Amino acid sequence: MTDRQADRARQIETILQQVDRLPTLSPIAARLLEVTDVDDVDLAQVAQLIETDVALSATVLKLVRAADLGLSHRITSVKQAIMLLGLDTVRSAVLSVEVLDLFEVRSSAQDLSTQTGFDNHGFWKHAVAVACASQLLAKESSDPEVEPDMAFLAGLLHGLGKLVLHMVLPQAYDRALAIAEQKHAKGASVERAILGIDHHTVGRRLADRWGLPHWLRDVIWFNGQPLEAVPGSAPRSMIATVSLASAWCQKHHLGWSGDFAADAPIGSFAEAASIPAAKLPDLVQHLLEDIVDRESIIGLGSETPPEALLQAIARANQRLGSLNASLEKQARAGRRRELIARYTATFLDQLDCGQPMEKTLASIRRSAASLFGATYCGIVWRSSTDGSCRFMHAGASCDDEHPHAVTLPLMKQRLREILGPSGGMGVAASSVLPCLDSFFDGAAEVESVRVFPIAIDDDIEVILIHNAELSGWNERTDLGPMRSVWASSVRAASVINRSRGLEDDLATANRALGEMQSELAERASMARLGEMTAGAAHEMNNPLAVIHGRAQMLCSKLEGTELGGCAAAIAASAADLSDLITDLNVLARMSEPTLALSDATEVVRDALALATDRIGHPIEVEVEIDAEAGSMVTDRKLLAHALEELFVNAHEACSAEKVRMRVHADPDAGRLYFRIEDRGCGLSEKALRHAFDPFFSEKPAGRQRGFGLAKARRGIELLGGRIWVEARQGGGTAACIALNLDPSIASAA
Amino acid sequence: MASGEAKQNQWADKKVFTTGEAAQVCKVSQQTIIRCFDSGRLTGFRVPGSKFRRIPRAELMRFMKTNGIPLDSIEGGRKRVLIVDDDEAINGLLVDVLTRDGQFEVETALTGYEAGLLTESFKPHVIILDYMLPDINGNVVCERIKNRESTRDIKILFISGVVDEQEIRALLESGADDFIKKPFDIDDIASRIHDLLESPAV
């Protein structure tokens, strides 16, 4: 059983419990029901019972007078009345009075002309009408089972279930009645849909509880239902008679039946009740007179027959009018729905969810302006992430296809808070968002520009502002679907844009990861190279030491001879080879920089001193250091070594002019630049690209350059910077280093 | 000069000195030696059954060091160099370099253990020590030598193919007196040894 079913079952149980709690019949009525069930009735006992209740006695006597005016003045005792009326009539009268008393009908007559829902007074009028009609019809019936007084009682109580529903679930039942009226549906089916139980079942329950006779119970249970659905054991003729009476009274708007279904099958009811259909029209006049009498007997009112008829006709007219109005209303609503559907289709056709938010907003604005017939229409989008606002609008002064788009000042407050819980529908825009006033076209418009919220929730805040008159539209039923479509498109665009943003972030993260991986890989390979070169340095330097040493010894013995020169060359080569191994080892084992505040001038001076040591004589460099680049946080030694390599490189390029160096800072970018320019032979495209690769040289074999620039690059990378060479305009080469002013920021790349 | 050399060699092998011999070694009078012996500033023993004074070599050297008397005469003229490297070709080269004009007396060891033995028997002035030895690392050998009173004065010159600056710093901190990188300049290594020996004893 689903939750819903379980709820339903609980609801029905509650209703039935409430039915059981309704008052029971008085002892008199109960007793009367008892005694009439037996054949040998002691009339004296019945009369005695009735006489114990003054009101009942009066009612019975009134009934006798109504039945036969000629005798009325002479009948003064209840017993006489019973004898005259017959036991069934008396029983019917007593039960009628009892039931009316129980439901306090007389005290709660209400204004019935306009109110929808349960019409208490009308209900009883209808009940009496049906009772009278049933009695009249029963007299015409050829079926002896259909006894007129029993038919009266059955007609009076046939709608008992409706009364019960009204008693126990007044609001829910009113809603069911309203829906039944609107849809012109049978009450029972709507009741089952809304309440879970219908008035037939509820009525039967109460009938059982009150101990009403079975035939009466079955009338309450089955009246108005197709006779095919009625079990054979039930008194079909009686049910048909009451159903016929009820349908007939409903047709003639006698009282308020609480049923709104189209015409009941009067013909088939008449047939089942064994009443010739041809006689029915003649009964109307009798009926109206009868009703008035009966109403006055049970105290329901004192309208005269013509008045009652006029009232019935007036009510029928009113009903017809309201039916017409509702049809017209439905047609109007239909036309609007069609319009909305057309706009929805057009809007969705033109919508591309993958497009940027801005375009979606423009589409909505255009669609709304056209649908509302607004001459001015704008759309406000507030980003819930940072409170920034975009505003796009078009009016008389600008092209609808190309609206103005502006960025509004940051809006700290959420639109939801500004507009309040109602969403600000129809509120004057200038009263809630005065910042927009300056964009409106002319002061006259400011007053007419109103808010139309599109989507206001946690993630999305979009509202329209427009100057159209929307009073003809029902914002909930007519514009609701359109608004949902717009809101959905904004949400879709937002989600797509956000997912794009995430994709970008992911790509960035991937790129960073890739860089980190290659950095790690380089470090790992450097570490391996370090281990290898450390071993190699030991293993190779031993034989190199022997070669070098022996060659030197030979050289000293053979000094001045040709062989002495050979020995010297061997020694020199061994020393070169050893230097190479040392460089390789240094490159591989470069460790993390040690950062400290350093002075640019001193770093450059260190580098020049190192270069001078290498070359063997001072090199001339024109140094220019900008004021804001005067000091920096760096590893002085590492940077000086890198600069040394660049100086040596510039020197070896055989510059035609003095080598120039400039140090400058770009605080906005957070970068510090070193640029060393020579006017030498310049480098080829390939050399520019590979200048920092170990072992790369474009120079002829034998003039290998070792690892100088590779070491420089490694050092600068350890400092989080970048080093490169580029062709200098007008010949020569420029070697550049870019460092972060704040070296704790990882990469300057 | 030849007889002087022979005399010096004679002192170099002597284990126990008479007061006359000690006077010659220290280049002072025999009376001075006897006075120092009797006052306890120079300790030794008397020959059992007679009153002849005898001075053990180690005690005489201690006395000479204490009083700033040059040890040249007792140790012989040439400085002794112990070369410790597991590469025989390096050892051979260094032997040839250091003995080519007879200026040094040279012994070689291939392992740390051998180096220890020779430090005792050969009593080198300088040890040329390779960092990577097959049994113990050079820095351990260095620390042992520098932590013992009797061997503390021996100068240690590291040679290594290793070029890591941190390792070099660690070696110098473990007590080494100098470092030379392989391959080395043969004239440079001889002059470094001379420099080390001329530096004052700690």
Looking at residue B128, its pLDDT comes to 92
Question: Are A544 and B160 in contact (CB < 8 Å)?
Answer: no
**pLDDT at position A40, please?**
55
Using a CB-CB distance cutoff of 8 angstroms, which residues of chain B are in contact with residue A579?
none
Contact status, residue A164 vs residue A207, Cβ threshold 8 Å? no
pLDDT class of A298 with cuts at 50, 70, 90: low
Q: Which two tokens stand for residue A451?
A: 């808010």
**Yes or no, beta carbons of A545 and B132 under 8 Å apart:** no
CB contact under 8 A, B185 and A552: yes
pLDDT of residue B81: 92
Q: Which strand ranges, in their side-by-side order, compose the sheet holding A377-383?
A: A404-408, A389-394, A377-383, A460-466, A450-456
How distant is the Cα of A498 from the closest Cα of chain B, in angstroms?
A: 53
* Most confident of the ranges A180-189, A191-200, A409-418: A191-200
- Give yes or no for residue A124 having a pLDDT over 70: yes
pLDDT by residue (tens digit) across A151-163?
A: 877 887 888 888 8
Q: Indicate yes or no: CB of B90 within 8 angstroms of CB of A553.
A: no
**Structural domains present in chain B:** 11-69 (1.10.1660.10), 79-198 (3.40.50.2300)
Locate A160 and state its tokens: 């008992």
Q: DSSP letter at A278?
A: G
Long-range contacts of range A175-180, CB-CB < 8 Å, 24 or more positions apart? A177/A116, A177/A117, A177/A118, A177/A258, A178/A116, A178/A117, A180/A259, A180/A260
Report CB contact under 8 Å: B89, A553.
no
First to last CA, chain B: 31
Handedness of CA A415, A419, A424, A430 (dihedral sign): negative
The Cα–Cα gap between B118 and A268 comes to 139
Q: Which residue of A has its CA nearest to B89?
A: A546
> Per-residue pLDDT for A430 more than 80?
no
Residue with tokens 């009695």, as numbered in its chain: A135
More confident residue, A745 or B53: B53
pLDDT of residue A699: 56
Cα–Cα distance measured from residue A106 to residue A55, given in angstroms and rounded to the nearest whole number: 14
Q: Quick one: average pLDDT of A104-126? A: 58
pLDDT value of residue A101: 67
CB A743 within 8 A of CB A638: no
Across the interface, whether the CB atoms of B164 and A548 are under 8 A apart is answered: no
Phi and psi torsions of A677, nearest 5°: -115, 135
pLDDT tens digits along B97-151: 888 877 788 999 998 889 988 988 888 999 999 887 888 888 888 888 888 888 8
Task: HSE, CB side, 13 Å, CA atoms: give it for residue A64.
Answer: 23
Nearest CA in chain B to A555: B186
- Average pLDDT of span A544-555: 90
* Predicted pLDDT of residue A364: 87
B188 reaches A (C-beta below 8 A): no
Is residue A631 within 8 Å of A592, Cβ to Cβ? no
Of the candidates B96, B184, B187, the beta carbon closest to that of A545 is on B184
Strand residues in chain B grouped as ranges (E):
16-18, 45-46, 53-56, 79-84, 104-109, 126-130, 155-160, 178-181
For residue A595, the surrounding DSSP H or E stretch is none
Which of A382, A393, A388, A387 has its CA nearest to residue A449? A393
What percent of chain A has a predicted confidence (pLDDT) above 70? 81
Rounded average pLDDT over A643-660 = 83
Q: Is B161 in contact with A547 (Cβ distance < 8 A)?
A: no
Q: Quick one: pLDDT at residue B194? A: 86
Contact A177, A117 (CB under 8 A): yes
| Predicted pLDDT at B82 | 94
Asked if the model's pLDDT at residue A107 lies above 80, the reply is: no
Which of B55, B52, B36 has the alpha carbon at shortest distance from B44?
Answer: B55
User: Cβ–Cβ contacts within 10 Å for residue A307, how many?
Assistant: 12
Residue (of B169, B170, B145, B140) closest to B156 by Cα position = B145
The answer to ipTM > 0.90 is no
Say what the pTM is: 0.41
B95 part of contact set with chain A, CB < 8 Å: no
Cα–Cα distance between B197 and A124 in angstroms, integer?
A: 138
Interface test with A, best of B182, B185, B188, B192 (most A CBs within 10 A): B182
Evaluate the omega torsion of the peptide bond into residue A305 and state whether it is cis, within 30 degrees of 0. Answer: no
Helices (H), A589-635: 600-615
| Block residue for tokens 């001459």 | A375
Q: Which residue has the higher pLDDT, A52 or A362?
A: A362
Shortest Cα–Cα distance, A412 to chain B (Å): 59
Candidate from B93, B100, B163 with C-beta closest to A546: B93
Q: Do B90 and A552 touch (CB under 8 A)?
A: no
Q: Which residue in A532, A546, A547 has the most chain B C-beta atoms within 10 A of its own C-beta, making it the best mutation to test that interface?
A: A546
Least CB–CB distance from B183: residue in A534, A549, A553: A549
What residues of B are in contact with residue A550 (Cβ under 8 Å)?
93
How many CB pairs below 8 A link A and B? Answer: 67
* Interchain pair B182, A545: CB under 8 A: yes
CA distance A694 to A708: 8
**Is the Cβ pair B163, A586 closer than 8 Å?**
yes
pLDDT in tens, A18-37: 777 776 666 667 666 666 55
pLDDT tens-digit readout, A434-489: 777 777 665 456 777 888 888 887 777 888 888 888 777 777 777 888 888 888 88
CB neighbours of A130 closer than 8 A, spacing ≥ 6?
Answer: A155, A156, A158, A159, A242, A245, A246, A249, A255
A546 with B162: Cβ contact below 8 A = no
Determine the pLDDT at residue A38.
47
Question: Distance between CA atoms of A409 and A391, rounded to whole angstroms?
Answer: 10
Least confident stretch, A212-216, A393-397, A470-474, B70-74: A393-397
